[in-house]
Amino acid sequence: MAKAITRIKKMEFTKEEIRARKLTKLENQLADRTDSLVKAMNLIQALDDADALDNLTALINRKDDALYYFVKEANKPRYSKVFENMEAMLFLLGDLEVERVREFTSYINAGLEQAEAGLKENSEKTSYFDLVKALRDPHVNRSITLILNFLKGMGQHQPK
C-alpha cells in the first residue's frame, strides 16, 4: 500500500514571479480590450478638452458638499412642480412611439423650412382665391388631410 501524504509543500513564488504573472495577465486583458480602451481614452481626452475633467474630479472629491448644495437648491419652491411632474413625464415618454414622433418631426421641420422660405419670398396677404387655389396643390391637400385626420383622432379620444 502507498504511504499517506502527511506533508504538503506549498509552492512559493518570488515577488518578481508574481509581478511577471500579473503583468502577463494585464497585457492579455489590454490586448483583448483594445477598442474599448481607445474609446475610454478618447472620452477622457474629450472631457479634458472641455475642461470638465477637473470639474468632475472636484465634484467627486467634494461629493458630500455637492450633494448638500444640490438638495438645498432642489428644495426651493420654484422646483417643486418639476419634481412633482417628473414621474408623469417619464411615463409619458414611455408611452410615446419614438419612430412615429421622429417621422412627424421630420414633416414639421420640412414645413418650417418651407414657411421660412415663403416669408422671405412673399409678404403679400393671402386671398380666399389663393386658399382655394392652394387646395389643388397635392402637397397642400395631403397636409390639410393629415391635419384634419389628426384633429379627428384627437377629438375622438377626448372625454365628452
Q: How many domains does the chain have?
A: 3
Do 148 and 138 fall into the same domain? yes
Do 90 and 133 fall into the same domain? no
DSSP 3-state percent helix, strand, coil across the chain (nearest 5): 80, 0, 20
Do 84 and 108 fall into the same domain? no
Q: Is residue 8 part of a domain?
A: no
Q: Is residue 149 part of a domain?
A: yes
**Cβ proximity of 111 and 143 under 8 Å:** yes
**Cβ proximity of 148 and 142 under 8 Å:** no
pLDDT tens-digit readout, 11-61:
888 999 999 999 999 999 999 999 999 999 999 999 999 989 999 999 999
pLDDT tens-digit readout, 114-140:
888 877 776 678 888 888 888 899 999
Q: What is the pLDDT of residue 35?
A: 93
Q: What is the pLDDT of residue 33?
A: 93
Do 79 and 34 fall into the same domain? no
Q: What is the pLDDT of residue 1?
A: 66
Do 101 and 89 fall into the same domain? no
User: Which of the two residues, 131 and 160, has the higher pLDDT score?
Assistant: 131
pLDDT tens-digit readout, 49-68:
998 999 999 999 999 999 99
Do 81 and 31 fall into the same domain? no
Q: pTM for the complete prediction?
A: 0.39
Q: Is residue 105 part of a domain?
A: yes
Q: What is the pLDDT of residue 123?
A: 66
Do 111 and 140 fall into the same domain? yes
Closest-CA residue to 59 (of 50, 44, 49, 69): 69
For range 65-88, the mean pLDDT = 89
Do 118 and 135 fall into the same domain? yes
Do 78 and 100 fall into the same domain? no
What domain range includes position 90?
A: 69-95
